[in-house]
Amino acid sequence: MLGDWHQLWLIVSNPDNVPVVALIGLVPFFTWFGLRQARANDRLIEKLETDPELARTHHRKTQPYHPSWAKEVHTWPYLLRIELLAAILVTVILLVWALSVNAPLEEPANAAITMNPAKAPWYFLGLQELLEYFDPWIAGVAIPTFVILGLMAIPFIDVNPLGNGYYTYKQRRFAIWTFLIGFEGIWLVLTMIGTFIRGPGFMWFWPTQTWDPDRIEFLTTRNLDDIFGVNGKWLAHLLPASQQANAVLWARGLFGIIPVGIYFLVAAWFFYKIITATPFTRKIFGRMSLLQVVVMEVLLILMLAVPITFFMRNLLRIKYVWETPWFNL
Amino acid sequence: MKARVLGLAAAIALTMAVAGCSKKSEQPAEQSAAPAATVNPATAGTITGTVKLVGTAPRMPLIKMGADPACEKNNTGPVHSEEVVVGKDNALANVVVYIKSGLGNYSYPAPSEPVTLDQKGCMYHPHVITLMAGQQFQVINSDSLTHNIHVMSADNRAWNESQPQSAAPITKTFPRPEMAIPVKCNIHPWMKAYIFVFANPYYSTTGDDGAFTIKNVPPGTYTVEAWAEAAEAQPPLLSGTAEQQVTVAPSATKSVNFTFQAK
Amino acid sequence: MAEENPGKGKTGVADEAEGKVQQFKGWLEEKFQEQVEELKRPEETQLYKAFFRVGRIDEPRNRALHTLNNLFLHIHPTKVNRDAVSYSYTWGMGGISFYLFIVLTFTGILLMFYYHPTKVQAYRDILDLETSVPFGLQLRNIHRWAAHLMIIAVCLHLLRVFLTGSYKRPREFNWCVGVLLLVFTMLLSFTGYLLPDDQLGFWAVTVGTNMARATPLLGHEGPFGPQLGLTAYNDVRFALLGGSIVDSAALLRAYIWHCIALPVMISVFFGVHFWRVRKDGGASGPSPVMLESEMKD
Amino acid sequence: MPGQQPPPQDPITSRSLAGPLLVAGLLLLAVLGWSLYQEEFGLRPWRGYQARFSRVYSAYLEKRLADRRAADRALDATSQYKALEAAVEAARSAAKPKDAATDKAAALVAAQRAALLPTYVTVHAQVGALTYDYEQIPATAAYRGSKQHAYNVMIAARNQVHVVDWPTAQGTTVKRGFTYDQLNAEFTNLLDLKAEYVAARGQEDAGVTAAVKKLNDYVAATLPGLPAATRNALLQKVRTLDFTIHQVYVDPPGTSLNYLGGGSLVDRCQSCHLGMDSDLVPPQITMTKADLGLAKSHNAPFATHPEPVLLTLHPLHRFGCSTCHGGDGWGLDTVSQAHGRFEHWPWPLYYSENIEAGCQNCHAADAWTPYAPVLDRGRFLFRVKGCIGCHKYAGFDDQAEELASAEHEVSNLDREKAANARQAKASNHAGDVAASNAEAQRDYAAATNLTVQNAKIDTQMTALGAKERDLFEEVKKVGPNLKEARLHLRQDWIPYWIAHTHQFEPDAQMPQFRLEPYEVRAISAFLWQDALQGPAPPKQAPGDPAHGKQLFMERGCLACHSIGEGSNRTGGDYAENLSRIGEKDTYDYLVRWVYNPRLRTEPYDPTLHKDLSPADYAKAGLPFVFDAQHSTFDGHEIEWENPTVMPSFRLSWQDARDIASFLETQKTNMNYAPASYMDDPKLFAQGKALVEFYGCASCHEIAGLEDQGRIGVELTQEGSKPLGQIDFGFLLTDAQEGIRPDGKPADHGPWDTLRGFLEAKIHQPGVFDADRYRPNPETRLHMPTPALTRDDLEALVTFVLGSVDNSTLPPNYLYKPTGEAADVQKGWWIATKYNCIGCHQIAIGQQSVLESLPMYQGENAANLPPPLTFEGARVQPEWLKQFLANPALSTSDTNRDGVRSYLEVRMPTFFLTDDEIRSLVSFFEAMSSEPLQYVPSQLPPLTPPETAIARAIFTSPAAPCLKCHMDGVAAHDKTASAPNLLQVKARLRPAWTLQWMTDPAAMQPGTAMPSGLFRRENGRWVFNGPLPAIAKNYPGDMAELLVRYLFEMTPAEQQQVLRLTPTGH
């Protein structure tokens, strides 16, 4: 039943969801705020590119400038007073928050009574959401590990020397898009889904739909090999007698390599196309070592796999594309 | 180098395994390696002798059976307590003489015929019963009243069963050797007997003549013991050397005498 | 002296006394003025100097010395890029994160006074805290929300640093440290989640640690875990929880991670982070824009 | 921006941030202010309550104080008070001279001690140190010199004379010298003197103390409550009340009292409920909201506990508040938090309608809980409304379960026995072949032990067999035996009843099932076809309805049954309303039922799983007879009686016919649709499935379904069911918003709580099916709708709500009575099971159903069955056993009461089992606090003169005993109003008899037996009427004499006195 605004209010006003609600406003605001400055810088860059003379003399910032002004200012008091102001404001915000919203305290822990829904803290809800799409070892272990390693790898694979220390969009289009897709398009959206959409039984409830713990959901998902009818009959002839019984498993395992392989190739080609789309990006590409290219490709491919799986599962109802006795993808 | 170490280890392991196996297989062999010999009747000897009482035999009290007139019916005259029964020439009856130790490793099949204890005239006949472990022990009731047979064994299962008049005989066995198992009838408290259960057939009970014979004894040196009820009583009515060393030569008859002094 | 002029005895004495009073008055006024002047410039007092070592802060040298000489301020350079003081560039998120960490430490220590990490006491301690401990409820609320706010601030810090490309040379290493700090921040918050021992924390931690079951090679439900002989009683989840279920051992472990291990680790990395910020040239900018045409091949 | 004129000043260094900083600083201050306010007031609402309490309570105390002062003044003016006061004064003045002398002497001693003390202390310390110095020097030759020296120094110090200014009795001071030893002696002496004077003073004042005590006692007795002074102190305390948290802290060792699974109980309820704090409101004060002038306030939690005795039984310092009432004892921030009425507190405060649910938490095993009438009513309804038929409840009518467990135990023992036998055999064998005698003896001993063990098992099994037999009979069904439906009921009526249960009988015991017409048809047809065809009950001639009605009214049927509907309804609600019984029952069956409801058509054999027909008996070569004496078939117990609690009234067949004829007239003109389908065999299977589905066999005996257990959820711990496990169906939103299933707002707002669920569920179980797509009616919820009034509904909710998992509570808090209290509880189960309380008053203050009926009002109250409040003290246990087994006290003449044959109302025969009788006897003894082992006291036999005196009193005109007491003359016995005194010896206890004779009205108000037969004179009872000449000089206790006489009463003696009695007939 849609239109249950009370339900939506319950979710939004849940104390532990306050940060998520705050993020809805904060992240777009700061994205806009940063990109606005990037646009100003981009205009400046454009101007300087067309006017080399000016480029030589210009202080190259959008901030106001006069030659007589000191290049550096004293930390005390100019930085510290700002820090003081920030600290006071943060304290005020925190106190108001603390005075108006109580930290949640639910029933005493009881292993016999399952919470429904049993949700992780909001910052892990993205991971919990991934658990719906991937095997636990992928969602819970492999992906976080890749995210952390991927983040740490960024400085080493982003060889673009431009845009170091100032906002710019035009000079770093690819990097910014990639990051915004990863950070906002995937992580934040998954967190939102986990917070607002997932109800009892971790079922999918549209906003304003009543969270009915007794709701019955009909979900069929199929594995890709089922759709293609992989049954391993033809493989049975090729296998030694001892493995005859496992023909299906073998067939599935082998079959799964095909779509996964195709995806890797297509995605790799897709990203290659993107990073060599313009002369500028080709120039950057030229600066990259083979290892950097490979690492970047792998990370990008894996990142793209998340939304693709998301859509495959939710729209195409495909569960696994590659099944093996040890893991499923 | 590495290969050598491995080889050494393998060798040690193999040795140990073999040793372990052989040790295991030894144990059952040891048990079955002691075949119990049977006594060779050709070389077997005999121990005989008499048991005498020195001094005046203590007077045995008269048993008063008035409480149960049916008891008196089966008795011709007055009945005395049977703690000390003396025959002619001070011969001491109801003494059990047996080889206490010194026997080798022989196997003795239990005799197939049962030993019978009769209850007659509210007395046990005989007063001292000897039998071998595993031999059948039969109790019959010749009286026209009910008795109970209360066998108070310690090493064997104790039991207490009643036997009405003309009931079927009670048949039991004693699986373990045990000396002087008291037997009582709780209905007639004067009734008393002793059962001796032996692992071997080398025992004999003296009759009224005080004589005993232990046959088919393989040659060797043994400790022979004589057990007299009155010597074991508290306080003892008799005293005497109950144990003697006896050497039996092949096919010989050895004579041994025991004496008990009256106190 | 009063006897000097007996004729004018009385008046003389009075005058003299009056003169003395006047004299004293004048002296007192003078001293008072002096004192007021001194107090008008508190930074010149001995007391002030003893504490802060330098005098007036509106002199450039003293300003610099002020920062340099202060243990707490010397994480800052004495001077910063003139534009780096603007919120619009830095968003202040790093500083806010650190400030929140201090708030969390402070409130956390106070909360520790009232909390026992045992199955019997934990929940009851929170009940007590909320109802009878002075400022207990507010303390807990501040701690809770500061933790959430810190994660938000850290995430926004990450966003800012990325958007300004501040991870680029020479700051690659510090970016990595920053990523670790993000992870630590989340772990700190997560370990704190269990401590009230209520259903919310219990099930959040149950869900969270259930993922650990599936760690490849280390979890008993993960790929190759069973093949390596892992069970629910010897895998990584068991190590995290100190048992196969979320129970008293898990509570104690969460407590120790939350109150000792992680704060110590994050403090160390904070130090590294700040140190690298200064060594790598202070706040990253705003740097002058670079032109594509100037790019070296 | 290039090209522009740069600003004259650097915007960073020149701009001041003072403004924003100031604003931020002010904001911070404001928020800190908010925080302080919140801390001081916002989160501490109890401060407000305490301030208000201080105001209203001090006003209350002031008013009471003024009243009290006036009363005190009035009292002071009374002559008694004045006399007592004078006595005090007199005593004081008498003691005065001596007191003065003693005080003076004591003062001197104190002065001397003070003078001595400084010197004493100094010298003591000095000598002590010197002694130590001396002692610690080794006593060897090397140290001889120094030791001697130290010795000399020590002795010198001991002998040194210290001069003290010594006060004398004359008031002068003299110098007096003391050595160390003298100092010690004098000091001890002074201490002794001081003690002496204190004692002397006490003795001198003994008279005063006694007089004061007398005065105080008088005041306390005349004016109970707090004395003015105490009240005043209290008032001052309340006026300056310190605002703090008031809490009860209980920390029983081991487990916890709270449900958190550990730790102590902290209840801060008194922080607002200040009237409960005994420091502020002493137990002498009880006040309500109205007393405080706050009758209309909904926010004045200041009253004292309405049932103070409960607080005495459950002291706060041991139980706290939330243990009984629920709620969050920690909560202080808001009312809803304190009362635990928020989402995350699983143990909310019970609403007042269900307040007794708290009792059930610990009193779950009770059959009867004093001070908890609602809970008791809930228990009663749980049985009477047939809940127990479907829902298991541990300890509640669980004979069926007990039987099963006994059977289980027997089979376990059987197995154990066989195993023991095997083991014994093995041990014996092991002994036979053992290597050593010691080992053999061990083996034989083990075997012997096992054999003995088996013998013990045999005794256990024998006892279990007896228990099984008893349990088998104790299992009763809530509804009638439907195997006899065909013989018992009218064919057309059955489907109507099933479909319209509550239309036919609005307060029926049977709940209304929600059935589709086809289900009704199938169930009816199945029951009809499944029932026995015969042998039919004997054919009966018509009876006399008028006589039947009289019997129906007189014999006591109305103690359980009711008759008439609406305002005409009279009788109890323990059993069915009989207003329309004529429409349902067949006459022949009804006659047999009234004659003896336990009579069965065919016995049921649970071993063979079949009803035994005459043919079965014939095959076994047995006559077709089954009763208490023939309760087995083929060696096992059979169900030989109808499993109903309805007893036999020992009526004659004719009386039974008359009553049945009367009952047959109880009907309306309703026409029932013919039910031709009843014999349709096609419906049988479907009907059987439905009957199984709806659990009919839980309450009824139905052929083929005898072994069907209870189909409902066990409710023993329903009150602890987590909310998450409760299915509100499509009513969840309504529940959260406080809308009742009928669309009206719920009494307590949102009802998405356990209580709300239970209320809705018990009231109308069907509502949780609402809006659900249930194409097949059988997929609906099974639970039928019981007929309940609003109060009854709350009583049941209370009962179920309080039934929690109390395993987390400390075991010693659970009410698990032992000894007498246990006997009382066990007996109550039986007394309520058979509805003894319908006829008898058992507990003081309890009213039987009959007492409330119109025909027993006024002087007719004498026709009531006897109250049993003193039964345990009155009768001898052996006699009671016999009586309960056979209330006629005769095997031949049974159509009467055994004790009071003059009563029309009749003690019926309940066919109690030995166990039940034992329990009841213990119950009555325990209710009267009699020791369990009754040993008849040996009364001294009467001497012939005593007999003569007793006889004379017994027959004197002033004591016409035999006028009322039955005497064996049939005509007289009919009009008698008291039992035959011949029964005294076997029936009564002497002690009770004595008490009864001297003041019967005290034990049984309204009894026909007159009080005042004897008067107390010089410590003995003397006959109160004109004494017969012969008795005039009797020095002994005449009541006692009469008791002894009665205990020696023989028929011959009775005949003799009958002749002598002036009121003879």
Whole-complex ipTM? 0.72
A96 membership: H or E segment, kind and range: helix A80-100
Write out the residue range of the structural domain in which residue B42 sits: 35-108+200-263
The pLDDT assigned to D78 comes to 85
Do residue B104 and residue B205 come from a single domain? yes
Residue type at position D50: Q
- Could you give the angle at the alpha carbon of D680 between the alpha carbons of D678 and D684, nearest 5°? 90
Tell me if D345 sits within 8 A of D328, measured CB to CB.
yes
| Lowest model confidence (mean pLDDT) among A57-71, D137-151, D682-696 | A57-71
Q: Tell me the per-residue pLDDT of A311-323, one tens digit each, with 9 for 90 and over.
A: 888 887 787 777 7
How many C-beta neighbours within 10 Å does residue B11 have? Answer: 10
Tokens of residue A301, six digits: 């491919």
Q: Kindly state whether residue B154 falls inside one of the protein's structural domains.
A: yes
Instruction: Measure CB to CB from residue A210 to each of D10, D27, D733 and give the nearest one.
Output: D733
Alpha carbon C274 to its chain centroid, in Å, reads 12
Query: Partners of B170 in the beta sheet?
Result: B139
On whether any CB of chain C is under 8 Å from the CB of D331, the answer is yes
Q: Residue B159 maps to which CATH number?
A: 2.60.40.420
What is the CATH classification number for the domain harbouring B60? Answer: 2.60.40.10
**What is chain C's alpha carbon radius of gyration, rounded to the nearest angstrom?**
32
CA D59 to chain centre: 39
Residue D486 near chain C (CB below 8 Å) = no
**Where does the pLDDT of residue C212 fall: very low under 50, low under 70, confident under 90, or very high at 90 and above?**
confident
Q: For position B19, what pLDDT does the model report?
A: 44
Q: Quick one: pLDDT band at residue D395, thresholds 50, 70, 90?
A: confident
pTM of the model: 0.77
- Quick check: A89 contacting D, CB < 8 Å? yes
Statement to judge: residues B260 and B130 lie in one domain: no
The shortest CB-CB distance from A136 to any of C89, C211, C284 is to C211
Same domain for B129 and B86, yes or no, is no
pLDDT class of D51 with cuts at 50, 70, 90: very high
Q: Is residue B87 part of a domain?
A: yes
| CB contact A103 to D (< 8 Å) | no
Is D732's CB within 8 Å of A212's CB? yes
The answer to whether the bond into B235 is cis (omega within 30° of 0) is: yes
Which of A137, A160, A174 is most worth mutating to test chain C (most C CB atoms within 10 A of its CB)?
A137
Beta bridge partners of C80: A73
Residue D6 pLDDT more than 60?
Answer: no
The distance from CA C95 to its chain's CA centroid, rounded to whole angstroms, is 9
Angstroms from D24 CA to nearest CA on chain C:
16
Long-range contacts of D373-376, Cβ-Cβ distance < 8 Å, separation of 24 or more: D374/D791, D374/D794, D374/D795, D374/D798, D375/D795, D375/D798, D375/D799, D375/D802
Q: Is a pLDDT exceeding 60 seen at residue D892?
A: yes
Taking 50 as the threshold, does the pLDDT of residue B30 lie above it?
no
Tell whether the model's pLDDT for residue A190 goes beyond 70. Answer: yes
- Tell me the pLDDT of chain B averaged across its residues: 81
| Beta carbons of A101 and C141 less than 8 Å apart | yes
Asked if the Cβ–Cβ distance from C134 to D39 is below 8 Å, we say: yes
The length of chain A in residues reads 329
Mutate to test the interface with C, among A166, A183, A188 (most CBs of C within 10 A): A166
Separation between Cα atoms, residue D448 and residue B159, nearest integer Å = 11
Partner chains of B (3+ C-beta pairs under 8 Å): D
- Cβ distance D6 to A64 less than 8 Å, yes or no, reads yes
Last residue of a domain, one of B192, B214, B249: B192
For chain B, the domain total comes to 2
pLDDT of residue D773: 73
Question: In the block, which residue shows the tokens 């290039």?
Answer: D2
Mean pLDDT of C13-42: 88
The neighbours of chain A, by the rule of 3 or more Cβ pairs under 8 Å, are C, D
Q: Map D938-966 to HEC letters.
A: CCCCCCHHHHHHHHHHHHCCCCCHHHHEC
- For B249-263, how does the pLDDT look when each residue is reduced to its tens digit (9 = 90+)? 888 888 888 888 887
Q: Which are the contacts of B162, defined by CB distance < 8 A and separation ≥ 6?
A: B146, B147, B148, B149
SS3 C51: helix
Query: By the 8 A CB rule, do B117 and B125 touch?
Result: yes
Distance CA D524, CA D493 (A): 10
| Last residue of one domain, picked from the residues B149, B171, B192 | B192
Tell whether B68 and B102 lie within a shared domain.
yes
pLDDT of residue A239: 72
Nearest CB to A99: which of D38, D343, D344?
Answer: D38
- Look at residues B134, B169, B192 and tell me which one is the last residue of a structural domain: B192
The reply to whether B185 and B242 lie within a common domain is: no
D251-255 contacts, C-beta under 8 A, 24 or more apart: D252/D810, D252/D812, D252/D813, D254/D810, D255/D808, D255/D809, D255/D810, D255/D811
Residues 311-370 of D with CB under 8 A from A: 343-346
What residue of D is the nearest CA neighbor of A212?
A: D732
CA distance D406 to D702: 24
Start-to-end CA distance of chain B, whole Å, equals: 89
C-alpha–C-alpha distance, residues D248 and D325, integer Å: 14
Q: In this structure, are residues D487 and D532 in contact, taking their beta carbons and an 8 Å threshold? A: yes
**pLDDT of A116 over the 80 cut:** no
Query: Does D431 contact B154 at a Cβ distance shorter than 8 Å?
Result: no
Q: How much of chain D exceeds pLDDT 90, in percent?
A: 29
- DSSP calls for A219-285: ---B-HHHHTT---HHHHTTS-GGGGGGHHHHHHHHHHHHHHHHHHHHHHHHHHHHHTSSHHHHHHH
Class of domain D944-1060: mainly alpha
The correct answer on CATH 3.90.76.10 for the domain covering D817-927 is no
Residue D166 to residues A260, D119, D422, Cα–Cα distance (Å): 115, 12, 98
Q: Which amino acid is at C12?
A: G
Q: What is the distance, to the nearest Å, from the Cα of residue D122 to the centroid of all Cα atoms in its chain? A: 69
Is D1057 in a helix, a strand, or coil?
helix
Q: Cβ B157–D441 below 8 Å, yes or no?
A: no
| Helix D682-694 and helix D517-530, axial crossing angle in degrees, nearest 10 | 100
Taking CB atoms and an 8 Å cutoff, what residues of chain D touch C124? 260, 263, 266, 330
Q: Looking at the complex, report in whole angstroms how far the Cα of residue D799 sits from the nearest Cα belonging to chain A.
A: 24
pLDDT per residue as tens digits for the range D493-525: 999 999 999 999 888 889 999 888 999 999 999
The whole-angstrom separation of Cα C273 and Cα C178 is 7
pLDDT of D215: 86
> Which chain A residue is nearest to residue C150, measuring alpha carbons?
A19
Answer yes or no: is pLDDT of B27 > 50: no
Sequence-ordered list of residues with C-beta below 8 angstroms from that of D563, at least 6 positions apart, any chain: D552, D569, D570, D571, D577, D578, D579, D666
Instruction: Judge residue C67's burial from the number of C-beta atoms within 10 Å of its C-beta, 0-12 exposed, 13-18 middle, 19 or more buried.
Output: buried
Nearest alpha carbon to residue C201 among A194, D721, A107: A107
Shared-domain flag, residues B177 and B210 = no
Lowest mean pLDDT among A301-310, B111-120, D221-230, D555-564: D221-230
Determine, yes or no, domain membership for B23: no
Residue B120 and residue B76 share a domain: no
Q: Specify the CATH superfamily of domain D482-600+641-698.
A: Cytochrome c-like domain (1.10.760.10)
Structure confidence at residue C160 (pLDDT): 92
Average pLDDT over residues D743-772: 88
List the single best residue of D429, D444, D448, D452 to mutate versus B (max B Cβ within 10 A): D444
Q: Which of A22, A48, A70 is facing C291, going by the closest CB pair?
A: A48
pLDDT at D159 over 50: yes
Strand ranges (DSSP E) for D564-652? 570-571, 604-605, 610-611, 632-633, 636-637
CA distance C225 to C218: 6
Tell me if B90 is assigned to some domain.
Answer: yes
- Chain A positions touching D35 (Cβ under 8 A) are 95, 99
Which H or E element spans position B117?
A: strand B115-120
Q: Are C295 and A280 in contact (CB under 8 A)?
A: no
User: Same structural domain for residues B103 and B119?
Assistant: no
Backbone phi, psi, residue B233, to 5°: -65, 160
Residue of chain A with shortest Cα separation from C87: A82
Q: What is the pLDDT of residue C58?
A: 67
Closest CA to B75 of B147, B144, B139, B123: B123
For D585, phi then psi, to 5°, come to: -90, 150
Measured CA to CA, the distance from residue D950 to residue B248 in angstroms comes to: 100
Residue D331 and residue C131: Cβ atoms within 8 Å?
yes
On whether both B167 and B210 belong to a single domain, the answer is: no
- Does D258 or D311 have the greater pLDDT score? D311
pLDDT of residue D4: 54
Pairs of CB atoms within 8 A across C/D: 44
Grouping H, G, I as helix, E, B as strand and the rest as coil, residue D788 is coil
The reply to whether D440 touches chain B by the CB within 8 Å rule is yes
* Sign of the Cα pseudo-torsion (D569, D571, D576, D582, in order): negative
Rounded Cα distance, A186 and A188, in Å: 6
Give the residue from B97, B181, B185, B186 showing the smallest Cα distance to B137: B181
Query: Which residue of D17, D328, D737 to mutate against A (max A Cβ within 10 Å)?
Result: D17
**Confidence grade of residue C147 (pLDDT, cut at 50, 70, 90):** very high
Contact A164, A60 (CB under 8 A): no
The per-residue pLDDT for C10 is: 61
| D11 contact residues in A (CB cutoff 8 A) | 64
D580: closest CA among D500, D650, D670, D692? D670
The domains located in chain C, with CATH, are 21-66 (no CATH), 147-282 (1.20.810.10)
Predicted pLDDT at D254: 66
Question: Does residue B13 sit within a domain?
Answer: no
| Spatial separation of the C-alpha atoms in residues B236 and B231, rounded to whole Å | 5
Looking at the structure, tell me whether residues B139 and B188 fall in a common domain: yes
* Cα gap D257→D259, rounded to integer Å: 7
Quickly state the pLDDT bin for D794 (edges 50, 70, 90): very high
The structure tokens 């400390």 sit at D810
Across the strands, what pairs with D739?
A: D745
D345 touches C: beta carbon within 8 Å: no
Strands B45-54 and B258-262: parallel
In Å, how far is B242's CA from the nearest CA of chain D? 23
Confidence of residue D593 (pLDDT cuts 50, 70, 90): very high
Rounded distance between C-alpha atoms, residue D322 and residue D318, angstroms = 12
pLDDT band of C97, cuts 50, 70, 90: very high
Look up residue D26 and give its amino acid. L
Cα D398 off chain centre by: 19
How far is C92 from A188, CA to CA, in rounded Å?
22
**Three-state helix/strand/coil letters over C144-212:** HHHHHHHHHHHHHHHHHHHHCCCCCCCCHHHHHHHHHHHHHHHHHHHHHHHCCCEHHHHHHHHHHHHHH
